[in-house]
Amino acid sequence: MTARIIDGKAFAAVLLESVAEHVSHLKQTQGITPGLAVVLVGEDPASQVYVRSKGQRTVEVGMHSYEYRLPADTLEAELLALIEQLNLDPSVNGILVQLPLPQHLDEALVINAIDPSKDVDGFHISNAGLLATGQRAMVPCTPLGCLMMLREYCGNLAGLHAVVIGRSNIVGKPMAQLLLNESCTVTVAHSRTRNLPDFVNGADIVVAAVGRPLFVKGEWLKTGATVIDVGINRIEQGDGTTRLVGDVDYDAAKDIAGAITPVPGGVGPMTIACLLANTVAACCRVHFLPEPAGLTA
């Protein structure tokens, strides 16, 4: 069996097209242009790459992009003052503070300072709580993108057994909550789980978000399982060059799975598309306008 490849890049292009249409509709009918502010503290090269591509996509769909690059030694009070300014700015509909933050900054404190209605990452405790209780929330972009692809490839998810490997606040936990809301039977496993292969072998859906390259082996999978690989790991090859690999051993998995996301070109592009979709949704909500269907959860 050769797995269907879940083309996240193509999927994201469709979603971005829909986001762009709604942005243009908002401009024409309301004279409103949604705006997304991205805050980057420090000079981490990988973070700079993501921030640049987020800014590009934001402008491509016709929204305003505001970028704030702060030095690595920025004081917590300075960062909180910027967030307060963005909270109060009506032209800013979404605020994303790029994680991880430098050591001396309290991540939870900073994230929880964002106005929950502008928290397009869905990381604020009030959005996490809304999601966990099945209420309308800003949903974290990576799990939201995974859910959209799962719905497309599996149809109705009710009753399926999903194994989420990883328990982070930004992927594993919200992914498990979303799948529960879809009536999946959800197992949350992680790096310390005993007999992990046995759990994975029972899964109709595997979401790998452990952050360890090639951690999930092909032979662990049940034949025909749908595999979503959230990992983005840069590894050194023998010849000194680097390449991106996921948390799943793709080459082995593709012969056993029914469908699988590649890395790159899988979950990553969907994450950015969902961020922009969340920003449009936030803009609609703040102006009491009907929310575009199908754009978010």
CB of 271 to ligand GUE, least distance (A): 4
Q: Which span sits near ligand GUE by CB under 6 A: 93-101, 161-169, 212-220, 289-297?
A: 93-101
Residue 166 is labelled as binding a ligand: yes
Give the chain's count of helices (H) and strands (E).
10, 11
Catalytic residue among 54, 118, 173, 254: 54
Chain centre distance of CA 111: 16
Q: Which of 27, 30, 85, 98 is catalytic?
A: 98
**CA 3 from centroid of its chain's CA atoms:** 23
Structure tokens at 289: 């306008």
Is 121 tagged catalytic? yes
Active site residue 9: no
Residue 210's region, left for phi above 0, alpha for psi from -120 to 50, else beta, is alpha
Looking at the Cβ atoms of 61 and 157, the one nearer to ligand GUE is 61
Only one residue has tokens 């929310």, namely 291
Task: Tell whether 165 is in a known binding site.
Answer: no
Q: Is the Cβ of residue 101 or residue 203 nearer to ligand GUE in the bound state?
A: 101
Among 119, 121, 204, 229, interactor with ligand GUE by CB under 6 A: 121
Binding segment toward ligand GUE, per CB under 6 A, in 209-217, 252-260, 262-270, 287-295: 262-270
94 binds ligand GUE (CB under 6 A): no
How far is the CA of 97 from the CAs of 36, 50, 107, 124, 172, in angstroms? 11, 12, 9, 11, 19
133 CB neighbour count, 10 Å cutoff: 10
* Residue 255 backbone phi and psi in degrees, to 5: -85, -10
Q: Is 30 a catalytic residue?
A: no
Is 243 annotated as contributing to ligand binding? no
Q: Is 141 in the site for ligand GUE (CB under 6 A)?
A: yes
Bridge partner list, 186: 162
Residues that bind ligand GUE (CB under 6 A): 50, 96-99, 121, 141, 232, 244, 263-265, 268-269, 271-272
Binding site for NADP(+), by residue number, is 166-168, 232
Catalytically active residues are: 54, 98, 121
